[in-house]
A and B are shown apart, each in its own frame.
Chain A
Amino acid sequence: MPHEIRPGIRRLLRLATRRGMEQDADEEIRIHLQLRARQLMDEGMSASDANDEARRRFGDVDGERRLSRAVAGRQERRARWTDGMDRLRGDLRYALRTLRLDAGFTVFALVILALGIGASATVFSLVNGVLLRPMPFANPSRLVWIGNVADNGVDDWRVQVGHFVDLGTRSKSLSGIAGYFGYYSVGDAALTMHGVTQRLTRVPVTCGFFPLLGVTPELGRSFTAEECGRDSGSTTAILTDRLWREQFGADPSVIGRVVTVSDKSVQIIGVLPASFDFSSVFTPGTAADLFVPYPLSERNNRDGNTLAVVGRLRPGVSIAQANVELKALGRQLTAEFPQRNPIRPRIESLDAHVNGRFRPALMMLAFAVAAVMLIVAVNLASLQYARMSARGRELALRVALGAARGRIVRQVLTESLLLACGGAAIGVTLAILATRYLSHLRAFDIPLLSRVHVDASVVIATTLVAVLAGVVVGLLPALQSPADPNDALKDGTRGATRGGQHARVRSALVVTEIAAALVLLVASSLLLRSFVRVLDADLGFTPEHLFRLRVDPPVAPRDLAAATAYYDEVLRRIRSTPGVTAASLSDMLPFTGDRSWGVPGENQAYQRGHLPEGFIRFVDADYFRTMGIPLEKGRDFAEGDDPTAPRVVIINESMARKLWPGGDPIGQRVVQGPRHLTVIGVVGDVRHATLESPFTGEVYFPMRQSYGYTRVDLVVRTSLPISGFAAAARTALAPVAPDAVRNSWSTMQTLIDQVASPRRFLVLLLSGFAAFAVAIAALGIYALISFGVTQRRQELGIRIALGATTNDVGAAIMRETMRLTLVGIVLGTLAAVLVVPAMNSMLFGVTWRDPVSFGCGVAALVVVAGAAGLVPARRAMRVDPSTALRAG
């Protein structure tokens, strides 16, 4: 291999001249001058004349000296670089050869590194995209969410228009406030173009909404004060970038065009930038299409708490200061305007409001991933360690033959780094695929998820982690490389002292893996059990065999009579469809909205601000039977509950307890503005916001008596599968509801899944990590015990020859396995007790002390570790004493 020798020779040659290249440069000039002088003296010059003449002929001696020193320095650096590259090439070639020879190890190491790094990069991308990256607004850290504390002191109410105006003008800690109408509903507007009508989501916003967020329209302009003042419905609109591209073909001339939205002419005045994603911040999982002005008018003020409010802090003002000021202002306004709803402002940073719910979950995932990476690194270190001790003789021989210790360390490090970089390359690829998949999931209701992707910072961080892992993994065994070659050479494969030390270090590593795996197992069983509890929670209705379809026409019926006629026909047709056992209508199914208002009992005096609140639903007859909500008392709505009949209402049990504690609500009356409505029935409680939230009051109004609804869902109970049923239903409904049949049917279960999705997301990821961790820990145990059995073949052979039964041998191996496992479990339990309490806020129905979760974690580890130890134990039992002894 001449090309391997050559750099070596070059190095040797250079070593001889190393003694200062700069001195050499001076020396060369000195010799030249000396030779020249001698030549001149030979020609007959005197010694001093000859020296002067030599210098004269040379020219600028000092300049040349400087120049040649510089050149020498450059050459030295170049030579060093070439040598370094040669050495690196050599190390890489050596590492590649070693890795190729040990293909099993290499593949295993690459796989676990790639999975570990892939998981880390994915979770880091999530944390980065959802928590760390600023929101797509100007100076987002100064933006605050201004909530209005509900009577129960926990929930957040919207803010009434009058209060909104007064807060804006009186507050000194805010430089501005803005808001959007909090009760817009998805798809409640219809855009008619070229004779085709399309459902859109229209969000009414206050005049200063876009300027406050620092969002400037890409085309056109924002709303003017005059436009925001018109109380007779909106006449101007601003489009989102998506709507502009999809419906108007990204046509810049769209500005100024008049289109028909919900049968009204609306002029398009602006297009928002693509970076502005309203829904992913404020209402994740839905879409917003166009924005219209929301006038701060007396009429809107009468609608009560309608505005979701954001504000911008004045420079230098903290959130705490703003809170103090606004709380005082809230008390002042409540006292000053008794005719308005009370207001109790609560300020938090917009970021905390949007992401706060997910922060603990994502932080937990980050920790989980750190634990997984720890296990991966420890496992690789342990394996490298085993390989090093197997190669102990080879290394000792090389040391004996003169290989520098540093060089061996460097080669092991090169090997580890090579593995780490290979793992990182595969891992980052996996992460890119995983994040692409995650960010396109509509099923998960997580803000800003769509913005998540693997970016440069993630790749850099991941590579750093990989390099760090490589160094840790490489350094530990490398430093253990034999100090005294004599020992190692004499030691052989049977050595007691060195082998013993190796085993101790590797045992410690395996114990670490088991401990970390246990923490992950406990955390994931706690979450899993919470998840099961959440799904088990009594919904208050029966979601099985329940389908829903949005049926309100794109252009709302002009009055109650028209609406009733339309919906009656829809119901008549769907009820006569084969397989349908029950069908009804609701304007707000469970989990689809949080509209609530005060429903006081007749002739009752309530303290101001303590009006009984209920979630409001408009439903048709037979709704409760269709949904499977039990009718506890009284009667259901009937088709006869129309505008000519006495006004009626149905309440749930919680509301009944709130309104008439201990009394019979049937026949009692509640007050809604000028009207008094008689309670005709009491139904069971239903979950309304999330699966975890407690039951609260609900008030059902009959759809036939008041026209206070826009969106309407048809719910159908049928024994048919969805595919067959949907086709039949489409045929039945097509003549009366041609637009509605274009919507797709979904099951009630889908809605529940969507509500449970963030939790399921977390459970899935964490369980995946835990399973991965346990598998790797099991492999670690297996590798260690198996290695021990191989090393102790001879000892085992002797034992068997001396009369130990194979069972004794197997039991000894299993005892060893279990000893390691138990130490790991004890340490892991201690670690879990320290770590797990931090996730209390994510648990439901269990506490972090849950003995079942701890027990399951321990049991799973014992079983898996036992299985991992069983394989080498069985091998040990089959050791044939005669061959084992001879082999030694």
Chain B
Amino acid sequence: MANDILPILKGTLDTLVLKALCWTPMHGFEITRWVETRSSGALDLRDSALYQALHRLEERDMVTAQWGITENNQRARYYKITRTGRAHLAAETARWLRYAATVTGILTAAAGPA
């Protein structure tokens, strides 16, 4: 099982957080749970790393934060994606898909001279 945990590639966490937020504003723990659920726990992710990603995104105006109340009537800091964030998410997603397709294509083709 431990062998199945993947180290997260640099920069992809920010994109994942934006993806999490593009549907609805969430607080930090919700985002953590969202990533864990979607990856089925396959990504090696410290919770603090996620907050660092949120700080980065906030400083680059890709998310904004404000305090709100959870369903359980608890105070929590909610993050919301901005227009800049959405644009960045779209661009990063397209880039990632092309990158993955290219690498996959190479790795899965039969070996031989170019």
Contact = CB atoms under 8 A, between A and B. Distances in A.
Interface stretch (A27-35, A430-438, A488-496, A694-702): A27-35
A71 B28 CA distance: 16
Contacts of B40: none
Contacts of A58: 46-48
Contacts, number: 57
A64 interface: yes
Contacts of B34: none
Interface in B40-60: 46-49, 51-52, 55, 58-59
Interface residues of A, number: 24
B74 A17 contact: no
Contacts of B28: 28, 31-32
B77 interface: yes
Contacts of B77: 24, 27-28, 31
B17 to A, nearest CB: 14
Contact of B49 (A29, A31, A59): A59
Contact of A71 (B29, B49, B59): B59
Given A71-B55, A71-B58, A75-B58, A31 B47 contact: no
Interface in A7-63: 13, 16-17, 24, 27-29, 31-32, 35-36, 39, 57-61, 63
A32 B47 contact: yes
A59 B33 CA distance: 16
A107 interface: no
A16 B76 CA distance: 14
Contacts of B49: 59
B67 interface: yes
Interface residues of B, number: 20
A74 interface: yes
B75 interface: yes
A67 interface: yes
> Chain B's interface: helix, strand, loop or mixed, by majority?
helix
A67 B55 CA distance: 9
A63 B51 CA distance: 11
B108 interface: no
A59 B48 CA distance: 6
B66 A64 contact: no
B22 to A, nearest CB: 21
B55 A59 contact: no
Contacts of A67: 51-52, 55
B50 to A, nearest CB: 9
Interface in B69-91: 74-77
B15 to A, nearest CB: 20
Nearest to A13: B66
Contact of A39 (B33, B52, B67, B74): B33
A651 to B, nearest CB: 95
Interface string A62-78: 01100110010011000
A256 B77 CA distance: 85
Residue among A32, A64, A68 with max Cβ neighbours from chain B (10 Å): A32
Contacts of A57: 46-47
B75 to A, nearest CB: 7
Contacts of A60: 46, 48
Contact of A64 (B27, B33, B48): B48
Nearest to A35: B29
B93 to A, nearest CB: 26
B47 A36 contact: yes
B46 A17 contact: no
B87 to A, nearest CB: 21
A125 to B, nearest CB: 48
Given A58-B46, A59-B47, A68-B51, A31 B76 contact: yes
Nearest to B29: A35
A63 B47 contact: no
A64 B52 contact: yes
B66 A17 contact: yes
29 contacts: A13-B66, A16-B67, A17-B66, A17-B67, A24-B67, A27-B77, A28-B28, A28-B76, A28-B77, A29-B51, A31-B28, A31-B74, A31-B75, A31-B76, A32-B28, A32-B29, A32-B32, A36-B32, A57-B46, A57-B47, A58-B47, A59-B48, A59-B49, A60-B46, A61-B48, A64-B51, A68-B51, A71-B55, A71-B58
| The 3 A-B residue pairs with the shortest CB-CB distance in the complex, in nearest-first order | A59-B46, A59-B48, A58-B47
Given A28-B51, A32-B32, 13 more contacts: A13-B66, A28-B28, A31-B76, A31-B77, A36-B47, A60-B46, A60-B48, A64-B48, A64-B52, A67-B52, A67-B55, A68-B55, A71-B58
Interface of B: 27-29, 32-33, 46-49, 51-52, 55, 58-59, 66-67, 74-77
